[in-house]
Amino acid sequence: MLTLCYGAFLLALPLGNAAHPTTPDSTAAPHRHLLTLHTLRISSPFVPALGYEAPVRPRWSVRTSLGGYHNSYRYSYNTVDETGTLHGPISRRYRSTTLVVDASLNYYLQGSKPALVGWFVGAGLRTGLQRTRITDDGILAFSPTLRVLSVRPLLRAGRHWALGQRCLVDTHVGLLVSSYRTQRVSLVRVIGVGLGYRL
């Protein structure tokens, strides 16, 4: 519930937009590229990312993002061998690195806005590549490396808030559709916020 409330707050954030509306400049060349520094997720795990967006048709754009995060921690445990002898404590280190890539097709709802500014909805895919390594420091030392690739559908809605002619604030909420071997399907809420610069 807290995540949904925070997402609604981000999308409703006025940022002075009503007091200083941005109108298209007919004499200026249209901005065809948007570079962003944003998040793909602000709750745990926090996922920072770089993004690129470009119009493909009036009101339509393609958006891509590349981000990632790393987890590392250590804990201890005891083990018993075939003879019943207790060994330990054995120190185990867990390290996991995840690379996240997403791509979506966005539709802007306000045609009167400058390119890449205003409310939008989008759909696409988010791909994650996770590499996990577990290292045991002890008699039964082993170092397995696990790699997991996931591809999940993504629905997104948000707004780009103009801050002058080139800068903007990016806010969006989204839903990721996840499925498991048990055939259970779940929806994962994501919230993103960031800064952008139109070229």
Domain boundaries, the chain: 2-6+31-198
The predicted pLDDT at position 14 comes to: 46
19 DSSP 8-state letter: T
In whole angstroms, give the CA distance from residue 56 to residue 161. Answer: 20
pLDDT tens figures, 56-96: 999 999 999 999 999 988 888 777 878 888 877 777 788 99
pLDDT tens figures, 89-128: 777 788 999 999 999 999 999 988 899 999 999 999 999 9
Across 118-146, average pLDDT: 83
10 DSSP 8-state letter: H
CB neighbour list of residue 58: distance below 8 Å, 6 or more residues apart: 111
**Number of other residues whose CB lies within 10 A of the CB of residue 187:** 9
Sign of the Cα torsion 190, 48, 32, 18 reads positive
User: When comparing pLDDT for 12 and 172, which is higher?
Assistant: 172
Burial grade of 11 (CB within 10 A; 0-12, 13-18, 19 or more): middle
Give the predicted TM-score (pTM) of the model: 0.75
Locus of tokens 């990312």: 49
Overall CATH class of domain 2-6+31-198: mainly beta
